[in-house]
Amino acid sequence: MTQHVKLTINGRPYEADVPSRLLLVHFIREVAGLTGTHIGCDTTSCGACTVLVNGTPAKSCTLFAVQTDGANISTVEGLEQGGTLHPIQEGFYEEHGLQCGFCTPGMMMTSIAFLQENPDPTDDEIRHAISGNLCRCTGYMQIVKAVQYAARKMRDEQATPNTADSSAATATEAEVIR
């Protein structure tokens, strides 16, 4: 059985007839071709598949695409804007918040939603917020620092609007071609 699904991912519309049982993560990865969202456990435990559904973090391995018909989805591919990394991406880079990189997209999506609710968190609050996202490489310490880096940067940007820094060191790096 197929159903027609219409989604917006990172501001771009996607439309397809898909099997009713198609998981959202497979829609994102295989229909939309956005492979930055990963699959780690199939049981909502690890958070590698975390995306934002209408701004709220959701584990896309246990949602059907049809359940999110009409929704606005944000994935890691939408974070960089106009060649400038999102503060959370910059934070992970500067603070060595990633090693193998597999959990990183989900970890960043969770963190972004959390920082919108709590722009000035304690380390413990960050640890609680990311406790649904497993990382096997880093031991989380540098991830906590990365989220704090992003929090500082986002607060600064909030305090001084219209000064988007397009000369950030990381933004000039050549994007690796897949």
Partner 1 sequence: MTTDAAAIGGMGHSVKRKEDARFLRGKGRYIDDIKLPGMLYMDIVRSPYAHANIKSIDASKALALPGVLAVITGKDLDAAGLAWMPTLMSDKQMVLPVDRVVYQAQEVAAVVATERYIAADGVALVEVDYEPLPPVIDPFKALEPDAPLVRPDREAQTNHIWHWESGDKARTDQLFNEAEVTVKEHIYLPRIHVSSIETCGCVASFDKVSGKLTVYMTTQAPHAIRTVYSLVTGIQEHKIRIVSPDIGGGFGGKVPVYPGYVIASVASIQTGLPVKWIEDRSENLQADSFARDYHITAELAAKNDGTMQALRVKTLADHGAFDAAANPSKFPAGLFSIITGSYRLDAAHVEVDGVYTNKPSGGVAYRCSFRVTEAVHTIERMVDTLAQKLQRDPAAVRMQNFIQPDAFPYKSATGWEYDSGNYPAALQKAMEKIDYAGLRREQAEKRARGELMGIGISTFTEIVGAGPSHTFDILGIKMFDSCEIRVHPTGSAIVRIGVQTQGQGHETTFAQIVAEELGLPVENITVEHGDTDTAPYGLGTYASRSTPTAGAATAVAARKIRDKAKKLAGHLLEVSPDDVEWVDYHFQVKGVPGRSVTMKDIAFAAYTNFPPDLEAGLEAVDYYDPPNLTFPFGAYICVVDIDRGTGMVKIRRFVAVDDCGNIINPMIVDGQIHGGLTMGMAPALFEAITYDENGNMQQSNFMDYLLPTAMETPVWETDKTTTPSPHHPFGAKGVGESATVGAPPAIANAVVDALSHLGVTHLDIPITPWKVYQILQEHGAAES
HSE on the CB side for 24, CA within 13 Å? 29
Stretch that binds partner 1, among 64-72, 112-120, 131-139, 154-162 (CB under 8 A): 131-139
Q: Kindly state the smallest distance separating residue 89's Cβ from partner 1, in Å.
A: 4
Considering the rule CB under 8 A, would residue 175 count as an interface residue with partner 1? yes
Name beta bridge partners: 53.
Answer: 56, 73
> Of 57 and 162, which CB lies nearer to partner 1 in the complex structure?
57
**DSSP letters spanning 60-129:** GGGSBGGGGTT-EEE-GGGS-BTTB--HHHHHHHHTT--SS-SSHHHHHHHHHHHHHH-SS--HHHHHHH
Stretch that binds partner 1, among 17-25, 62-70, 150-158, 160-168 (CB under 8 A): 17-25
Strand arrangement, sheet containing 56-59? 12-19, 2-9, 72-74, 50-53, 56-59
What mask of x and - would describe binding to partner 1 in positions 32 to 71, judged by CB under 8 A?
A: --xxxxxxxxxx-xx-x-----------------------
Q: Which residues bind partner 1 (CB under 8 A)?
A: 19, 21-22, 26, 29-30, 34-43, 45-46, 48, 75-77, 79-80, 85, 89, 92-94, 96, 98-105, 108, 123, 126-128, 130-144, 170, 173-176, 178
